[in-house]
Structure 1
Amino acid sequence: MSSVSFDVTPPHAPGTTWRLGAELFLPAGDPPDTVQLLLPGLTYDRRYWTAPGALDYTRHAVGEGYAVLALDRPGTGASEHPPAEQVTVESNVEAVHQVVTALREGAPGRPAFRHVVAVGHSLGSGVALIEAARHHDLDALIVTGLLHALGPLYPEAIPALYPASADATLAPSQPPENYLTTLPGRRAALYEHPAGMDPDLSAYHEDTKSTVTAGEGFTLDAIYQPEVAAQVQVPVLLVVGKEDRLFGGGDVSTEDAASVVAHERKFYTGTTDLEAFVVPDAAHSLNVHRTAPSWYAAAHEWLARRGPAHE
């Protein structure tokens, strides 16, 4: 693992540069042709992908022979924290596009990759979805924790936020104004399925929380517009927790993969290659549940069959 950074130009301010932090994981030997770009969700940073032990997605992916870039989106983790109103879904999308371009081009000390697969969670999935629809520079897309249907807990997500500057975990980092995080205890209520959790993982989940900006919150609707998914032309794997009640439990059944595909097919009309995997005993934050490795294995089996081959 090595720490790397990317300088990106936000779309609203030509001449301005934001520095994004990331970790690059490489398997032993020559660098592979394919890199997985991991994009965390709302109030998460790259630590979502490195949960303890067997729940570490990066370790699983590298073990399958992939390079992995775990990115801190703008305003999270080791990335720059611009004014909250500048950090929107749009600025996330264009920042990610510039990172994809940089991954393909390479740089001193960083290999160039022929194939880029985006793996998102929740808001990160939405950012990847718009990026793929707009720029057509991804080879495959793994969308976790995001469907075109809102579940019964979704209306509770925004009221569960409060200023990050008031949070004991995040206040020492001096978050800017209008950076928000989850109220203590609300992550478990919204994002976890108790029967699928261990107490230490729930504690890890709370301790590693990050932020969301007001700018992102006000622009979330861009993700759900039907024309976005319709413009995606690459293979797509949808991954959802069976007990997710932010996006499941409403208009779409998360009981089985066939039900998920049947609902989502009408949105992903630009690709003939759409599959789904339902993670048992897991709610929205898949990677902190005991069953998370089941979707890691399913995703890599799917990539081996339908995504770009790694060499």
Structure 2
Amino acid sequence: MYKRTHSGKTQAFQKKIIFQKEFNWNVNDEITTLTIEKIDDEILESIDKNNQNLCIFAWDKDQEEVFKIENYSKSNFPIVIDLSKKFYDFVGIPRFEIRIYEKNSKKILSHSKAFVMSSDIKNDKSKLSLIRMVPSDLGSQIAQISYIKGEPPYLEINKNYIAKNGQKIGLSEIKNLVRNDPNFCVGFWPGAIKEIFKIIFEENNDDFEQEWIQRWLFNIDNIAPGNLEKNSDGELHPIKSLQDDDDFISDISKQYIDSFIKKKDLDNGLIKKVRGIE
């Protein structure tokens, strides 16, 4: 898109950015409702209601949907978007943007950055976790690692887990289980970590500069030091002499898992649970 300047020249149309500090949002554990708690008055007052629309643009790997916001005066907030009307299950990591666009041309005039819809991160980038939890139907499984090429791996957690006695286990309980229960963590995370390391070091071995991989590598370097080194740009890569070893992934996984278990005190937690010491 182009617009004419006063000098008679043309320049590329620049979309206005809606900054993170200009609105607040949250999403429920099931990722069925997205709540926009507030948008700064300056943003709302800039919208020409006759010619422009405010919307939420949401998407995953397979689907893109627009949720138009008809009423957005101060008294309408918080605004609750029912994601379940258009998304049954998310495939891959779900994201959204706030957008303002022209009614006739559909040209996007301003937008926020893309946010991952996760109840774990809210609005603070410092809380970004290494792996996102996405609710899914998993039958009798509690959780599994999933991966789509071009995306970071994510953790599918069962949103409909029903125990043998017929009781349903809630998502908040499932999240607590996969994070903190020593029985589950010691049984599940070693295999899951090996799977993630294969994704990083085998499937993306020529693409280590990706932001999500760098976050993982910095974490790995902190927990299992001595396997990675920085290049001239400050990006972490495997030490070449180690990476060329056929056992590199197996060795670094074992080192990381051992440190991970001790760091979270899962070994002592498991012993206490087995011996009935609470």
TM-score norm. by structure 2 comes to 0.28
The higher radius of gyration belongs to 2
Greater share of strand? 2
TM-score norm. by structure 1 comes to 0.26
**Relative contact order, higher structure (CA 8 A, sep 6+):** 1
